[in-house]
Amino acid sequence: MTIAIYPGSFDPITNGHLGVATRAAKLFEKLIIGIYDAPEDKRPLFSQEERVELARQATVNIANIEVQGFSGLTVTFAKAVKAKAMVRGLRMGADFEREFDLAMMSKKLSPDLEVVCLMANQEYQFLSSSLLKEAAKLGGNIDGFVPKHVAVALRKKVDIKM
């Protein structure tokens, strides 16, 4: 079985992430969305358990997508779940340099793991979890950017924090 992972912080999962995941699920027999524990450079709004749950609900109708939380190196997680590929999404401009560096590093650490980048869907090119959180904090309408249950969770979280 050809397994791929789609790793990220997914804080929270957006329609942009889901576009990439849905398309990747058509390329591989199994796609595992891997959710990092706590990225060092970011303080996540949602706990890892919450992010996993939001992603699970968002992909419940796609039979070959699984969601798992992980900590430590992404390439170690890839090896543990026997993934042959790592999927990443590329938005216009902004993502390329970082993704290129990540791909080079991962190739050094794990030469057999192929990095597969899918272009972001056109309508979500400018959507990021951080912008989304900013918009939610300022009371913006986020309904077009995330599934309904994520919008509800985000509004609730932002209200608690304010």
Q: Does 133 bind ligand ADP (CB under 6 A)?
A: no
Q: Does 128 bind ligand ADP (CB under 6 A)?
A: yes
The footprint of ligand ADP on residues 75-94 (CB under 6 A) is 88-89, 91
Query: Active site includes 71?
Result: no
Q: Does 146 bind ligand ADP (CB under 6 A)?
A: no
Contact with ligand ADP (CB under 6 A): which of 67, 120, 136, 154?
A: 120
The tokens describing 50, both together, are 């919450």
Helix segments in the chain, DSSP class H: 15-27, 48-58, 74-80, 96-109, 129-137, 148-161
Neighbours of 130 (CB within 10 A): 11
Q: How many residues bind ligand ADP (CB under 6 A)?
A: 18
Cβ-based nearer residue to ligand ADP, 110 or 129: 129
Cβ pair 147, 53 in contact under 8 A: no
